Amino acid sequence: MDAFKSSETGEKLAWEIHSLLGKLKESLTLDGMDYMSSMKDPLDRKMTHLVRRYEQYGELHKLVEYIRNDLGSWFTCPPYKEMVAANNLAEQNIKELWS
């Protein structure tokens, strides 16, 4: 999304989201499923807080709506440090099996 690059506010939001994703990735290397499960709710709450904080910036409207539409799903991933904490790669691999 260009909104991340188009303003200082967008860059700040991007940094905050990357920080949260870093915490999720770190949780996967510590104790696997148990720690990740305990991290999901606090990370979801922080993402909701980011949406509320950044929704006032008009240039970020589309981006904030995109984030808001998937609240509750941003920090759901396989609990294995060997796997990417994003579903796109996994979905692509699964789809290849069915095509």
Question: pLDDT tens digits, residue range 69-81?
Answer: 988 888 776 655 5
User: Is 57 in contact with 50 (CB distance < 8 Å)?
Assistant: no
Q: Is residue 99 scored above 80 in pLDDT? A: no
* Sign of the dihedral through C-alpha 23, 25, 31, 36: positive
Question: pLDDT tens digits, residue range 27-77?
Answer: 766 655 565 667 788 889 999 999 999 999 998 998 899 889 988 888 776
Residue 54 to residue 63: CA distance in whole angstroms? 10
List the chain domain ranges.
3-98
Residue type (1 letter), 92: Q
Question: What pTM value is reported for the model?
Answer: 0.68
User: Tokens 């799903």 label which residue?
Assistant: 73
Residue 93 to residue 6: CA distance in whole angstroms? 33
Q: Is residue 6 scored above 60 in pLDDT? A: yes
